[in-house]
Amino acid sequence: MNQQIFVAAIKIQIEGEGIVKDLICYCFEYSVDDINQDYLENGKSTIMEKIQMEKKFGNCQCATKNPKGK
């Protein structure tokens, strides 16, 4: 099965580290690179499942961390 992942990424500079990442999740700081690495390691990306589980336990902070509040 050919799995494709489409994301709208925003380049940000991680404060104090000088690193630019294409973040797709502000709450847990997952980037496009993280998804690609996860896919290579697992044959699929498990990051969405991890995000959904964290949201289920109330650990999502999108309203405060994401500039769009989503």
Q: 33 in a domain, yes or no?
A: yes
Strand blocks (E) in 1-70: 10-14, 19-25, 30-31
| Whole-number Å distance between alpha carbons of 36 and 25 | 14
Asked if 27 and 59 touch (Cβ cutoff 8 Å), the reply is: yes
Per-residue pLDDT tens, the chain, 70 aa: give them.
334 444 444 455 555 555 556 788 888 888 888 988 999 999 988 998 898 899 899 988 877 877 776 6
Q: 4 in a domain, yes or no?
A: no
Amino acid at position 6, single letter: F
Q: 25 in a domain, yes or no?
A: yes
What is the total count of domains within the chain?
1
Instruction: Give the predicted TM-score (pTM) of the model.
Output: 0.62
Q: 47 in a domain, yes or no?
A: yes
| Whole-number Å distance between alpha carbons of 41 and 50 | 15
Give me the domain span that covers residue 43. 10-65
